[in-house]
Amino acid sequence: MDPTLEGRTGDPFTMVVEHGKVREFARATKSRNLDYDGAIGDPLLTPPTFLVTSAFWQGPSSSPMAGVTRDLGRVLHGEQEFVFHGPPPRVGDVLTGSARIDKVYEKEGRRGGLMSFIETVTEYRDADGRLVAESRSTSLETSKRATDGPG
């Protein structure tokens, strides 16, 4: 994997935190927290993992991975973390997201051979430009498919 990818960014995107989408996400994840469906008043909070839906607001140019070739049959989602710099976003917030490749590295695996890791960070800023949240994601590509077997 090319270490010069570190620092590469995608174009910023805008995400509107919509009431219906927060409610749908909470129901889909089987949440029973009434803060997420509007039952106890506005403004509604978002579930901690709601920012994963920002993928639906991003165009191809928003990804810092544009043009990076990977064999999707060997790519795994390794980890996802959400960091908040205050309360989670609320319904009605308009966030500007910007994704970048933070780290690129390789490790030797036991069964999959060499593993190439890419850690991406997406920062979310409010209308005043304040950093309100970050999503950190790690994906890895193995040098062998799981069906290839040992050796």
> Residue 68 belongs to a domain with what CATH number?
3.10.129.10
Question: Is 53 contained in some domain?
Answer: no
Q: Which two tokens stand for residue 20?
A: 């219906």
Question: What's the pTM?
Answer: 0.86
The total number of structural domains that make up the chain: 1
Residue 48, preceding peptide bond in cis (omega within 30° of 0): no
What does pLDDT average to in each consecutive run of 10 residues of the chain (151 residues)? Answer: 88 94 90 76 80 92 91 92 94 96 91 88 97 97 69 50
Domain that holds residue 123: 3-17+59-148
Question: Is 34 contained in some domain?
Answer: no
pLDDT in the model for residue 101 = 97
Question: Is 66 contained in some domain?
Answer: yes
Nearest of 67, 65, 29, 66 to residue 48 by alpha carbon:
29
Torsion of CA 36, 29, 146, 67, to 10 degrees: -40
Question: Is 144 contained in some domain?
Answer: yes
Residue 49 makes CB contacts below 8 A (sequence gap 6+) with: 29, 80, 82
Nearest of 105, 106, 102, 93 to residue 136 by alpha carbon:
102
Question: Is 140 contained in some domain?
Answer: yes
Question: Is 46 contained in some domain?
Answer: no
pLDDT in the model for residue 145 = 65
Residue 6, Cα to own-chain centre: how many angstroms? 17
Question: Is 88 contained in some domain?
Answer: yes
- Edge-first strand listing for the sheet containing 13-16: 13-16, 94-108, 114-125, 131-142, 75-84
Question: Is 42 contained in some domain?
Answer: no
